[in-house]
């Protein structure tokens, strides 16, 4: 069972989703405008948001960017638009999945289950992992409790940063291809390298390192990324990261 917010301006579609998702034992709230959606997310804790793009007050793409400024809640975009360039843009901007109308509730439910697993609400991201923390040098990552520490200090990571770090920590010393990261962490068969680069940059900042002076995260040009313990002395605690929009 998950706590869902359905953002859909069509009353017939909204009613059908509410009825069928409730019958599937989910707790469902719904709104018909962007401003109501932002208010609900700010005030109520949800496990997942189902977001239509054709809203009467703001376009759903704008709503997605605004949501990403205040929360990491998983978002599935559900819309009649099927332009590939827009799908790529929305996934890059933070959507966790994309469904083109019309779709069955069974299809939506399966996509929801996959997104919730990746978000840590239905299992570890990508694949099953053993209980207990993964340790790489002074770095500790616990996929089940979704906790990460560096030299004994807690790391404040976004959901996607944690998923990326946990995936790499489960393969220490192995160069993971970018296509594999997109497929396993982002659950995308295509995407832009910039998406990975941005999250790696944020991770490096929080690990107290830079691309020019890496300690844990190493980019192998033209191949992928690997995480391995540093050879030098333990790092000093990283500075607090800049606020991310």
34 domain-assigned:
yes
Domain membership of residue 82 (yes or no) is yes
Is residue 91 a part of any domain in this protein?
Answer: yes
pLDDT tens across the length of the chain (245 residues):
788 999 999 988 888 888 888 888 888 999 999 999 998 888 877 889 999 998 999 988 899 989 888 888 899 998 888 888 888 888 888 899 998 888 888 888 888 888 887 766 543 333 333 345 788 889 998 877 788 999 889 999 888 888 899 889 888 888 988 888 888 888 776 666 678 888 899 999 999 999 999 999 999 888 899 999 887 554 444 444 443 33
The helix or strand, by DSSP H or E, that contains position 3, with its residue range, turns out to be strand 3-7
Q: Say yes or no: 175 and 97 in one domain.
A: no
Q: So what's the pLDDT on residue 84?
A: 84
End residue of a domain, out of 55, 88, 118: 118
Are 27 and 113 in the same domain?
yes
- Is residue 30 situated within a structural domain? yes
Model pTM score:
0.52
Same structural domain, 185 and 141: yes
- In this structure, the answer to whether residues 28 and 71 fall within a common structural domain is yes
For residue 139, what is the domain's CATH number?
Answer: 1.10.10.10
**Whole-angstrom distance, CA of residue 150 vs CA of residue 158:** 15
> Is residue 232 one of the residues assigned to a domain?
no
If asked whether residues 14 and 112 sit together in one domain, one would say yes
Q: Domain check: are 39 and 110 in the same one?
A: yes
DSSP string, the chain: --EEEEE-S-HHHHHHHHHHHHHTT-EEEEESSHHHHHHHHHHS--SEEEE-S--SSS-HHHHHHHHHTT----EEEEES---HHHHHHHHHTT-SEEEESS--HHHHHHHHHHHHHHTTSSSSSSS---SS-EEETTEEEETTTTEEEETTEEP---HHHHHHHHHHHTSTT--EEHHHHHHHTS--SS--HHHHHHHHHHHHHHTT--SSS-SSEEEETTTEEEE---SSSPPPPPPPPPPP-
125 within some domain: no
Q: Residues 85, 185: one domain? A: no
Residue 50's pLDDT is 95
- Confirm whether 72 is domain-assigned: yes
Which of 90, 118, 146 is a domain's end point?
A: 118
Q: Are residues 65 and 99 in the same domain?
A: yes
Exposure pattern of 132-162 as b/e (b: 16+ CB <10 Å)? ebbebbbbbbbbeebebebeeeebebbbbbb
Residue 11 belongs to what domain range?
3-118
Domain count, the chain: 2
Residues 91 and 168 in one domain: no
Write the CATH number for 11.
3.40.50.2300
The answer to whether residue 22 sits within a structural domain is yes
């Amino acid at each position: 069972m998950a706590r869902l917010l359905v953002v859909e301006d069509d009353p017939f579609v909204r009613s059908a989703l509410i009825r069928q998702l409730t019958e599937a034992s989910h707790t469902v709230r719904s709104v018909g405008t962007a401003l109501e959606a932002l208010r609900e997310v700010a005030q109520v804790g949800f496990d997942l948001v189902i977001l239509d793009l054709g809203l009467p007050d703001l376009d759903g793409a704008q709503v997605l960017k605004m949501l990403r400024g205040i929360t990491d809640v998983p978002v599935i975009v559900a819309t009649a638009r099927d332009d590939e360039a827009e799908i790529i843009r929305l996934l890059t901007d933070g959507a966790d999945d994309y469904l083109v109308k019309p779709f069955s509730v069974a299809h939506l439910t399966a996509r929801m289950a996959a997104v919730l697993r990746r978000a840590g609400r239905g299992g570890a991201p990508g694949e099953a992992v053993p209980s207990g923390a993964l340790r790489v040098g002074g770095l500790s990552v616990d996929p089940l409790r979704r906790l990460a520490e560096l030299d004994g200090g807690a790391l404040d990571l976004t959901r996607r940063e944690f998923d990326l770090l946990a995936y790499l920590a489960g393969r220490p010393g192995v160069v993971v291809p970018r296509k594999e990261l997109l497929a396993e962490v982002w659950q995308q068969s295509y995407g832009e390298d910039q998406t990975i680069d941005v999250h790696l940059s944020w991770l490096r900042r929080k690990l107290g390192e830079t691309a020019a002076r890496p300690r844990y995260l190493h980019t192998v040009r033209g191949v992928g990324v690997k995480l391995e313990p540093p050879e030098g002395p333990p790092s000093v605690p990283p500075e607090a990261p800049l606020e991310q929009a």
